[in-house]
Amino acid sequence: MSSLPTPPPPATGTTTKTHVTTSPVISSFPLFSKTFKKSSLKSLNHKITCNATSDNNLDRRNILLGLGGLAGAVNLTSIPSAGAAPLAAPDISKCGTNPLTGFKPDGTTPTGGDCCPPDSSQIIDFQFPKNPTFKVRPAAHLLSPKYIAKFNLAIKRMKELPETDPRNFLQQAHIHCAYCNGAYTQSSSGFPEIEIQIHNSWLFFPFHRWYLYFYERILGSLIDDPTFALPFWNWDTPAGMTIPKYFNDPKSALFDPKRNQDHLKAVVDLGYNGSDSATTDLEKIKNNLAIMYRQMVTNATDPTAFFGGEYRAGSEPIRGGGSVEQSPHTPVHRWVGDPRETNGENLGNFYSAGRDTLFYCHHSNVDRMWSLWKMTGGKHKDLTDDDWLNTSFVFYDENKNLVRVYVKDCLRTTQLGYDYQRVDVPWLNSKPVPRAPRSGIAKKLAGKVKQTTDVSFPVKLNKIVKVLVARPKKSRSKKEKEEKEELLIVQGISYDSEKYVKFDVYVNDEDDDDVSAVADQTEFVGSFAQLPHKHKGKMMSKTNFRAGLTELLEELEADDDDNVLVTVVPRSGCEDITIDDIKIVFA
């Protein structure tokens, strides 16, 4: 077996912008867009697939190092920062001073202490392991019985730890609750009245990467196996679109009784609306693959689109989450959560999600999407804003040390000592197709549908909303399209944060009676989805939704149209949603 290349040197504590030359193989792939030819997609798909061995002792020659290494290398370009301030790791001694931190099973709100991990007066700064054992995260549906037993034993031992031990299973679950359900405030950044929220912004991906990193290290240490790696629930390929059956064994430590009993053997719905549709398994698979293409390709054309809006100290994450966070991440949470519970516990609610072992496999695949996205080249690079790079968190490690980490140190998975098993990526070839050419829709509906300039915003989303949105410019040249993406922005979405809310967005779909949950058609732009969570002193939250239009309008033969018909369809919990504006911009 060939040896792995020596990992790159650890990052320093500076914020100096660095350029690392990427592999010719990776850099040869152009940005996913209308110019990304099908032959290139097939070539990329071929390069990131392989089979697992029988006992999951994967041949390291079968690991595409670029997936989290070369593709994850820091390739920092000069993008000016607004320069407000990076969000600092919370003062955990003040955890729970905000009482709105979650829900009890009866629907009432518990105290902040219910979400708080053990306190520690000492914090150490993260150091890269000098000689890390390289780990390969395997696909959950391909695990051998031997690996499943190892995974089960690690979780079992974590659950058996004393409740006062920060490595304890429930204490680890509290980490997610505290960071996303109001238990922490920005006191360390000088803003003690503003809570910390690691969803709906550019913090989503790095926070969860660090979270899994330490969780994985704890599990490995509990079974004395430094090679142990968290499996990823491979819901983006048909073979992995069901919950692996070993999670459903009541005798296993991996079992959680608070899951949707109708979904234990079902094909996952990556566009889940809160209730099951009448679609067949084949239709679900087609829709799932189309959603993956839409969110990883069409709607993820640049770092802001993929990672989400900026989130600096002294502010709240109001610009919206990235494409993958919206879907499939959020619908999968709710699809697994138990509808028999008051608030969709466990996986269907932020405060309780970490109590289900499936959460960590779900997020392992979400983290894998970060690696996949970056390997395509073009604008698919990490953010370079200093406030993002210098944001910090604290986690407990396998030795019960409270460790401070920075976003800038988690950009390369190989530097952290892990990568992902290569498996099929069929959604690369699953571009949605139009039902029919959709040019001239605006002219056809003139007088029947109002333009946004004639609509009194904010509008309430208690029914389907249809508006004509003016395009700032039409018939753009190839060069213009390569330089700037045409974006649809649904701005100022005010929603009840204690509900699961979801709405879908369509373009040039003129049929009122035919706006279904079909995602494998070009007219479907994307979804806005949010899990229930608490906010300090309020129920209503505000954010934005954005989606790419350049490729869509070409596919619909509507690139020469002055206006676009936008249809917003409420799916779940939308009775109280209002929208401030709908517009098209270039960015």
Clarify whether 46 is annotated catalytic: no
Q: Which of 174, 362, 363, 380 is catalytic?
A: 363
186 touches 372 (CB < 8 A): no
Q: Give residue 519's Cα distance to chain centre.
A: 18
Half-sphere exposure of 31 (CA within 13 A, CB side): 18
**Among 8, 145, 126, which residue's Cα sits nearest to residue 68?**
8
Could you tell me the maximum CA-CA distance found in the chain, to the nearest angstrom?
70
Q: Which of 174, 329, 380, 533 is catalytic?
A: 329
Clarify whether 362 is annotated catalytic: no
- Residues paired with 191 in a beta bridge: 186
> Rounded CA gap, 19 and 75, in Å?
5
443-452's contacts with Cβ under 8 Å and 24+ in sequence apart are 444/510, 445/510, 445/565, 449/565, 451/563, 452/581, 452/582, 452/583
Token readout for 103 is: 């829900």
CA distances from residue 392 to 15, 87, 159, 312, 422 in whole angstroms, order as listed: 13, 7, 28, 11, 31
DSSP state of 151: H
Q: Which of 208, 263, 380, 533 is catalytic?
A: 208
215 touches 230 (CB < 8 A): yes
Strand order in the sheet with 402-406: 124-125, 402-406, 392-396
- Contacting residues for 418 by C-beta, under 8 A, at least 6 apart: 68, 134, 135, 136, 137, 213, 216, 229
Q: Give residue 356's Cα distance to chain centre.
A: 18
> Rounded CA gap, 201 and 542, in Å?
12
Q: Which of 141, 174, 263, 333 is catalytic?
A: 333
292 touches 172 (CB < 8 A): no
126 touches 403 (CB < 8 A): yes
Q: Which of 204, 350, 395, 528 is catalytic?
A: 350
> Rounded CA gap, 88 and 66, in Å?
30
Amino acid in the structure at residue 229: A
> Rounded CA gap, 185 and 478, in Å?
46
Ramachandran category for residue 143: left, alpha or beta (phi over 0 → left; psi -120 to 50 → alpha)? beta
Clarify whether 535 is annotated catalytic: no
Token readout for 69 is: 């290494």
Clarify whether 380 is annotated catalytic: no
> Rounded CA gap, 520 and 522, in Å?
7
CA distances from residue 67 to 17, 89, 407, 430, 468 in whole angstroms, order as listed: 22, 28, 18, 21, 41
Q: Which of 141, 199, 263, 533 is catalytic?
A: 199
Token readout for 218 is: 């704890």
Residues marked active site are found at 176, 199, 208, 329, 333, 350, 363
